Amino acid sequence: MIRSCRNNKQNGLSLIELLVAIIIGLFITIGISSVYVGNKRSSMTTDELSLLQANGRAVLEQLTQVIQHTGYKATRSSLDKDMFILGAVATSKCTGGADSVANTGLFNPIENDKARGDTIGVVYLGDDLLTTDCTGTQMPADCRLSDSDTAPPVAAAKIYNYFKADVNADGMPVLTCGGSLNAAEEEIAEGVENLQISYGEDADGDGIADRFVNSDEVSNWGGIVSVNVAVLVRSLNPVAVHASARKYQLLDDVVISTNDKYLRAVFTSTIRLRNATS
């Protein structure tokens, strides 16, 4: 019997075939990487935008909660034009002997067109129904107004609140609040780059604003019945690949120009002063 043997030869890849395979694999890797990076950037943009929107709404809510109480007079007295901080803030003694203002240095008269916009300072009286300043610090019972004969003087029951846009030690733009019941101002929101305020002045006593003006144009602070608020809020982190120039309109007379990689949005609200009287 004759057995025939056939040699099976195994052929390898040629150099050209190997190079082609490597190039194809490289293109696939680049494609996958591009999709991953694009999806990651899109996700980051969506997250930053959602956070920006939530932050802006929260800022307006915080400002509204405090400013709408401007001029609240409890069961006694009337604040009239003293419902805004237009001069130096003084402390008074409560019935227990404590100071009504923890740090008078936190407050300045309302200012217009500062480096980061306007400032606003509002005043209301504290009683058992309204006990906190803008930092959430609670007024002691012996400083609150009541119908009791031992109630403190009106001056001791004043609660002062002062808002401004600023930059903290880390370079983050913030909205700060100085409250009369707290010894230091507090950051109440991050990302707030500019604050603009205009005041609705009632000229004919019908409780409706006849014009909105800047603080340096108000003719009768006792006639302010509403406040327009606009805040420019930016994302906490840069999002865009390249810097781009943009402009943002705040109220009627202010335009803010930027040129960077951050997202921004303007949030506005009109706050009615429920306790104001013309």
pLDDT category of residue 7 using cuts at 50, 70 and 90: low
Helix (H) / strand (E) containing 260: strand 254-260
Measuring CA to CA, how many Å separate 192 from each of 32, 85, 125, 166, 174?
38, 22, 28, 8, 5
Helices (H) and strands (E) in the chain, counts: 1, 10
Mean pLDDT within 203-222: 92
What φ, ψ does residue 191 adopt, rounded to 5°? 85, 0
Q: Under a CB-based contact definition with an 8 Å cutoff, are residues 196 and 14 in contact?
A: no
pLDDT at position 37 is 64
pLDDT digits (tens, 9 = 90+) for 52-79: 999 999 999 999 999 999 999 866 556 7
pLDDT digits (tens, 9 = 90+) for 173-207: 999 999 999 999 999 999 999 999 999 999 998 88
For the entire predicted model, the pTM comes to 0.82
- Closest among 107, 81, 234 to 163, alpha carbons compared: 107
Per-domain residue ranges for the chain?
39-272
Alpha-carbon 203 to chain mean position:
31
| CB burial readout 27-62, b (16+ within 10 A) else e | eeeeeeeeeeeeeeeeeeeeebeebbeebbeebbeb
pLDDT at 4 over 80: no
Alpha-carbon 154 to chain mean position:
31
